A and B are shown apart, each in its own frame.
Chain A
Amino acid sequence: MANPVKTGTNLLYALIAQARSYSDTIIMGRGDPDFDTPPHIVEAAKRAMVEHHADYTPPEGLLSLREAIAARVQRVNGFAVDPATEVVVTNGGQEALMLMILAALGPGDSIIVPEPNYNTYHDALKFARADKISIPSTAATNFRTDPDKVRAALTERTRALLLVSPNNPTASVIQRADLEALVALAQERDLVIIADDIYDLFIYDDYKHISPASLPGAKERTLTLNALSKSFSMTGWRLGWIVGPANLMARVRELKAAITGGTSIISQYAGIAALTGPQEPVQMMADAYKRRRKIVMDALDEMGIHYGVPQGGQFVFADISFTGMDSAELAEKILTDQHVLVYPGSAFDQERAQYIRMTFLQPEDKLREGLERMRVAMKKIMGER
């Protein structure tokens, strides 16, 4: 039995530890791309180690990097930011996430959180002593966030709205009409928008990613996070950023100075190379995820498992309620029996105990093998029922 006291991040770490105890584990849960960082970025880092190893690193990051970020935000996300005052470089998207929450919310304030969501948002809110107002969604609607439900949930203390698109773990992309309604609601009710665009380069079928800050009138109340972790396979470098209006960004800068100071100089130079160098590696990886997504969807179809069709991102969120099992228990069984790690929805929050998250972040042959092993495990499990 899965340990009942383990929830959220702790539950994940217990499963990861178990997964590591086997030599042949296939990890299909973790959000770490299998691709190594493209070589030209590593090369740039090596040069920086020689030429720039002692450069001063201000809390907000190198100006040349902030300029590259501003250019990327204009090019990909469609809005302008001033590199001097509207960009802060962070230790990955994770630090950016924490800083945005701390910047926008104080004790007792509340924020609208479409659920399920990336679990560390809950932890960051707890740290900030802020409250979340959950807006649940289900696989049946492809995890759509309904603006009417958001409106109905607002309270006097609601100060912010979290929009993660594509979402982790659901892989849903907020559609234009919904986004426009949500942004209008934020304007009407004077909410700060906290936007997480970390998967913005991985979009499937005919879906389109739209940055909330690119909509008219939204920029002045929106903090937007992004990082190179997923897009350039740079999870180990810890490089991300926040862009937003200069007044809020001045606060973000002080918070950044208070929680970690600066960002590693070598990673910053690597970031400049990533943003200003060839973009083909990103396309190559996006194409691979597209193929793998199909492999995973086909296998789930064959196993009779329902899921939200991934509109973006690097994973699929699948409904396992037909097993009659809690996802933590199921994940543990699959892991113990077949050495395949899928992430239980209860690691995201208890309300999501009927889901599992699977990522496409394994080479195709490994992915196929993992899915085959999972099929064997599922067959056994269903046979036992």
Chain B
Amino acid sequence: MSSQTIARILDAHAQNTLLNTPAPPLTARNAGDLSADSLYAPIDERMIETAATALESGQTHYVDVPGIAPLRAALAETLTQSHGAAYAQPNVIVTAGMQESRFLTLQMIGETVERVAVPKVVHPGVRKALGVRALKLDMLDVDAQMLPTLDTIRATLQGGSRLLFLESPSRLTGAVYSAEAVGQIAALAAEYDAVVIWDQGLAPWTDEYTSLAAHAADRTVAIGEAFPGSGLGSWMIGYIAAPEALVAPMQSQKQIMAICTSTAAQYAALEASKLYADAQPSRRARLKVARQSAVDALGAAVIPGAAANILAVRAPHTQAAVAQLQAADGADFGAPDVLRLTVSVETALPTAAIMGG
């Protein structure tokens, strides 16, 4: 007996191209997988010990919706130090990973504004999050490095968008906005009284970085993975850092869709926060070397980017290359004929195969 109700649900689902956008895996599926958002990273034993000790001492119960207090404080401090905005614990929500950060910010701030603007080239997780519940969208044109231009940002604000979603570094190419451009984005956001969701998750992989939060903390909702590179990719932990008034609705939504973030991940991240300042620069330096040798081999095919952990190349016949290389498909980001490869120090990038197409 077939159900009309279910048929109707499936029909609407099939038409939801945003929701059905394929997304790269969060972590590598196997040793040769270069498509993952998060690179393979060994985990420091001290993180395991802290997480295990917490569980053994009974941290197996619900904790506060926005996260355990010391982790929120540690994230606030790290973000304050690295991005020059004055964050405190009440500004921070610990999320169950980057996708929850995308979803909570886009949907809960998005529902308060008339229109939302997102880049035409953006992580597929953004399209997926927007596919859950309809919002009025404007799509921002991007430049050669896949970042929305200032002109298109100005135009969308003039057209009525009051929430912008921007990635810096780009999740496809690793390109970042210059300090000057960030200042101009901040001025535009202020002029139009807009809020900006600022995905800075890949910032720890860049040498020079300006967060929008440094210029316009009062209208920036910064999101990212918690302590990337620490080996927590599969533990699922991220953050949102926002003005307190914006925290409340996102926290309420987190309560009704997850209650809190798993305690094991939170305690491991807490330990990671202590190790991070010492560990991250050398991790980044090693990846930079690995990435540079691939850039040298590939030459003009590489799309310039500043994040050491990813590399985007223009590659014709992308479909075949995606399959052969296990690369992330730029088409899923909105950029056909581009491949994204995760850089790691363990595996040399298969430059010959990329060149071969």
- Do A and B pair up? The answer is yes
Q: Give me the interface of A with B, judged by CB distance under 8 Å.
A: 9-10, 32-33, 36-37, 39, 42, 45-46, 49-50, 53-58, 91-92, 94-95, 98, 102-104, 106-107, 120, 123-124, 127-129, 159-160, 187, 190-192, 217, 220-221, 233-239, 245, 247-248, 250-251, 254-255, 257-267, 270
With A54-B234, A124-B256 known to touch, is A258 a contact of B62 (CB < 8 Å)?
no
Please pick, from A36, A46, A91, A187, the residue contacting B60 in the complex, using a CB distance under 8 A: A36
Q: Which residues of A contact B98 (CB under 8 A)?
A: 261
23 sample A-B contacts, Cβ–Cβ < 8 Å, listed by A number: A9-B255, A45-B264, A46-B55, A53-B234, A56-B25, A56-B26, A56-B30, A56-B33, A106-B12, A127-B253, A128-B133, A190-B5, A238-B96, A238-B261, A250-B13, A254-B20, A258-B99, A258-B103, A258-B129, A259-B100, A259-B257, A263-B236, A266-B262
Contacts of A266 in B (CB 8 A): 51, 235, 262, 264-265
B96 touches A264 (CB 8 A): yes
Partner of A56, one of B19, B27, B258, B260: B27
Chain B residues whose C-beta falls within 8 Å of the C-beta of A103 in the assembled complex: 9
Contact residues in A for B97 (Cβ distance below 8 Å)? 260-262
The answer to whether residues A261 and B48 also contact, given A236-B63, A248-B9, A251-B9 and a CB cut-off of 8 A, is no
Task: List the B side residues contacting A127 at CB < 8 Å.
Answer: 133, 253, 256-257
Quick check: A56 and B51 within 8 Å, CB to CB? no
Question: Which residues of chain B have C-beta atoms less than 8 A from A53's C-beta?
Answer: 43, 48, 231, 234-235
Q: Does B29 contact A (CB under 8 A)?
A: yes
Min CB distance, A13 to chain B, in Å? 8
Q: Which residue on B lies nearest to A221, using beta carbons?
A: B3
Closest to A10 in B: B252
Are B259 and A94 interface neighbours, CB within 8 A?
Answer: yes
Residue of B nearest to A187 (CB): B1
Q: Which residue of B lies closest to A122 (CB)?
A: B256
CB contact under 8 A between A235 and B61, given known A56-B25, A192-B6: yes
8 further A-B pairs in the complex, CB-CB below 8 A; given A53-B48, A191-B5: A50-B48, A98-B256, A120-B255, A192-B3, A237-B262, A238-B259, A251-B9, A258-B131
Given the known inter-chain contacts A235-B62, A251-B10, A262-B97, please indicate yes or no for A46 contacting B262, CB distance below 8 A.
Answer: no
Contact present for B25 and A255 (CB under 8 Å) = no
Q: Is the CB of A37 within 8 A of B55?
A: yes
| Cα distance, A194 to B51, chains bound together (Å) | 35
- Bound Cα distance A53, B28 (Å): 12
Contact B19–A54 (Cβ < 8 Å):
no
Q: With A49-B51, A220-B3 as given contacts, are A257 and B99 in contact (CB-CB < 8 Å)? A: yes
Query: Chain B residues near A191 (CB, 8 Å)?
Result: 5
A56-B27, A248-B9 given; A260·B264 CB < 8 A: no
Asked if B228 is an interface residue, CB under 8 A from chain A, the answer is no
Q: Which listed residue (A9, A190, A250, A261) contacts B26, Cβ 8 A?
A: A261
Chain A nearest CB from B171 CB (Å) reads: 13
Q: Whole-angstrom distance between the alpha carbons of A236 and B258 in the complex?
A: 11
Whether A264 contacts B265 by the Cβ 8 Å rule is yes
Q: Is B85 an interface residue (CB 8 A)?
A: no
- Assembled-state Cα–Cα distance A341/B100 (Å): 32
Say whether B52 faces chain A, with CB atoms less than 8 Å apart: yes
B56 within 8 A of A: yes
- The answer to whether A46 and B236 have CB atoms under 8 Å apart is no
Residues from chain A with Cβ under 8 Å of B259 in the complex: 92, 94, 235, 238
Which residue from chain A places its CB closest to the CB of B108 in the assembled complex?
A127
1/0 per residue B106-130: CB within 8 Å of A? 0000000000000000000100110
Q: Assess A260 versus B43: contact at CB under 8 Å? Given A37-B55, A237-B263, A248-B6.
A: no
**Which residue from B5, B234, B237 sits with its C-beta under 8 Å from A159?**
B5
The 4 closest A-B pairs by CB, nearest first: A261-B99, A258-B128, A37-B60, A265-B234
Most A C-beta atoms less than 10 A away, residue of B9, B58, B100, B253: B9
B96 x A260 contact (CB < 8 A): yes
Distance, CA A120 to CA B36, complexed state (A): 34
Residue numbers in B under 8 Å from A190 (CB-CB): 3-5
For residue B327, give the distance in angstroms from its CB to the closest CB of chain A: 16
B201 on the interface (CB 8 Å rule)? no
Does B155 lie at the interface of the complex (its beta carbon under 8 Å from any beta carbon of A)?
no
Q: Are B258 and A260 in contact (CB under 8 A)?
A: yes
Whole-angstrom CA separation of A103 from B16 in the bound complex: 12
Residue of B4, B12, B19, B231 contacting most chain A CB atoms (<10 Å): B19
Q: Is B233 engaged at the interface, CB distance under 8 Å to the other chain?
A: yes
**Given A54-B234, A258-B99, A261-B97, is A94 in contact with B265 using a C-beta cutoff of 8 Å?**
no
Closest to B29 in A: A56
B1, B48, B235: which contacts A264 (Cβ < 8 A)? B235
Assembled-state Cα–Cα distance A221/B7 (Å): 11
| Bound: A98/B107 CA distance, A | 14
